[in-house]
Amino acid sequence: MSQNQLSILIADEMHPSLFAMLDQAGFRYDYQPKITRADLLTTLEPYEGLIIRSKTTVDEEVLAQAPNLQFIGRAGAGLDLIDLAAVERRGIRVFHAGEGNRDAVAEHMVGMLLGLLANILKADREVRQGIWDREGNRGYELGSLTVGLIGYGNNGRATARRLSGFGCRVLAYDKFLTNYGDTFANEATLAQICAEADVLSLHIPLTDETRLWIDDSFIDQFGKPFYLVNIARGEIASLSAVVRGLENGKIRGACLDVLENEKLAKLTPEQQQSFDYLRQSDRVILTPHIAGWTHESYVRINDVLVRQIQS
> Alpha-carbon dihedral of residues 16, 101, 109, 141, nearest 10 degrees?
-110
Q: Which residues are catalytic?
A: 233, 262, 289
* Number of Cβ atoms within 10 Å of the Cβ of 127: 12
Q: How many residues are recorded in the chain?
A: 311
